[in-house]
Structures are given as structure tokens and as C-alpha cells.
């Protein structure tokens, strides 16, 4: 057995979660992170204004639109999307750092963001979080009470365009309740970690021990 093979450790896992607005992605991701504290969170750059509950450099790196565009021009953004007139993007440098250190990374991305991540990193695991039905999504958006009926109808229209893209993802998880959806995502992460291709040289390390 070669030294180079035996010295290889498990490769970090890149996991992205996407889903239509109102599906409960943020809450489910929070639950997953609570239960897998070792997983790094890819902190995105955004041009949207910071909310009072957020901290710069923790929730996002908040930048002006000009600063965001300059970062893009310098090639510092892996993928980006525009959501409700604001820019969102994945910075490359911290991601490379995570990968080099073999850390698992969780991404919270728009649908096109997950697909772009997969294009750049085919080994990334993409998860599409779905509502049980479109009418349940409507009910949740209405209950949230943060948007006008007109905006809710627009979100539902967007959702009906996004949901058929589930077939482009590796996994489709229904968020019928937060606990179960988080458990399913945790099970996917656990199973993906055990793929042989992510544990190259495992047999050598065992035989050496």
C-alpha cells in the first residue's frame, strides 16, 4: 500500500438544501445544525439589508451591491443569485479552506444556487425540501402573516415552477414536520459520509492498525 493512499483522510461533505419560499428551510436547517454541531455553515455574501437579529460575518457577510459586484468581478464568488432584488453568493475562499481541512459544509441556497454548486462540485449532495402539497404551502405562507396575498400568490407561482426541478436534485425531502424533515436530512448526511469514495484508504488504515 502506498503512503499517499494511507495518509488520505475522509473528504469533507458539501450538502446544500433548497426549497420554495415558505417551505420552512431555515428552521429545518437550524435543527440539523443543532444536531450536527461539527458541520460548517457556508456563510454567504449578500447585498440585502441586515435584519436586527442578524450579525455581520455570522448570518451573512453584508455588503453593498457595488461591493458584491466587485467581489464577483475579482472572481471571489463561486455562484450567485438574485432574490427579491438582492444579491446572494457563495464566497470561494472560505469554502476552499473548509474543503482543504476536510470539513463538512452545509449550504442554504436558492434552487439555481444548488444546481450551480453541483456543477462546480459534482460530489456535492443536493437536497430539495418540499411542502407536503401546494395548498399546505399556501396555508403556511398565510399563517406566517408576513406578506400580502398578492405576494403570497407570486411565491406560490414561483413554487409551482421550482417544484418540478426536484428531479435535478439528489434527494427530495418532504417537510411535513420540522423534526422529521431534519431527521431525514441527518440520515442522508450520515449515509453519504459512509460512501467509499469519501473514505479512500479506509481499508489500509484498518489493516495498519
Among residues 67, 76, 81, 170, which is the contact residue for ligand 5GP, using CB under 6 A?
A: 81
Q: Least distance in Å: CB of 2 to ligand 5GP?
A: 38
Q: What are the DSSP E strand ranges found in 12-154?
A: 14-18, 40-41, 45-46, 61-62, 77-83, 86-91, 105-108, 125-130
CA 183 and chain centroid, separation: 16
- Choice between 74 and 206, CB closer to ligand 5GP: 74
75, exposed or middle or buried, with CB in 10 Å at 0-12, 13-18, 19+?
Answer: exposed
Among residues 110, 126, 152, 188, which is the contact residue for ligand 5GP, using CB under 6 A?
A: 110
Q: Least distance in Å: CB of 160 to ligand 5GP?
A: 16
> What is the C-alpha to C-alpha distance for residues 82 and 65, in angstroms, rounded to an integer?
11
Among residues 88, 128, 169, 171, which is the contact residue for ligand 5GP, using CB under 6 A?
A: 88
Among residues 33, 48, 165, 205, which is the contact residue for ligand 5GP, using CB under 6 A?
A: 48
Candidates 79-87, 94-102, 138-146, 188-196; binding stretch for ligand 5GP (CB under 6 A): 79-87
Binding of residue 113 to ligand 5GP (CB under 6 A): yes
Binding of residue 44 to ligand 5GP (CB under 6 A): yes
Q: Least distance in Å: CB of 91 to ligand 5GP?
A: 8
> What are the φ and ψ backbone dihedral angles of 72, each rounded to 5 degrees?
-60, -45
Amino acid at each position: 500500500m502506498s503512503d499517499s493512499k494511507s495518509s488520505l483522510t475522509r473528504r469533507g461533505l458539501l450538502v446544500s438544501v433548497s426549497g420554495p419560499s415558505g417551505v420552512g428551510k431555515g428552521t429545518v436547517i437550524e435543527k440539523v445544525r443543532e444536531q450536527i454541531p461539527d458541520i460548517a455553515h457556508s456563510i454567504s455574501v449578500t447585498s440585502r439589508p441586515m435584519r436586527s437579529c442578524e450579525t455581520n460575518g455570522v448570518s451573512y457577510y453584508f455588503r453593498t451591491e457595488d461591493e458584491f459586484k466587485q467581489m464577483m468581478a475579482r472572481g471571489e464568488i463561486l455562484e450567485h443569485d438574485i432574490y427579491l432584488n438582492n444579491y446572494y453568493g457563495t464566497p470561494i475562499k472560505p469554502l476552499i479552506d473548509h474543503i482543504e481541512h476536510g470539513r463538512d459544509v452545509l449550504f442554504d441556497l436558492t434552487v439555481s444556487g444548488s444546481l450551480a454548486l453541483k456543477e462546480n462540485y459534482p460530489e456535492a449532495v443536493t437536497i430539495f425540501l418540499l411542502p407536503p402539497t401546494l395548498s399546505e404551502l399556501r396555508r403556511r405562507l398565510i399563517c406566517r402573516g408576513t406578506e400580502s396575498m398578492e405576494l403570497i400568490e407570486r411565491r406560490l407561482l414561483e413554487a409551482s415552477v421550482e417544484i418540478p426541478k426536484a428531479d435535478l436534485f439528489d434527494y427530495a425531502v418532504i417537510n411535513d414536520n420540522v423534526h422529521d424533515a431534519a431527521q431525514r436530512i441527518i440520515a442522508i448526511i450520515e449515509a453519504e459520509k459512509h460512501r467509499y469514495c469519501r473514505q479512500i484508504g479506509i481499508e489500509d488504515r484498518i489493516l495498519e492498525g
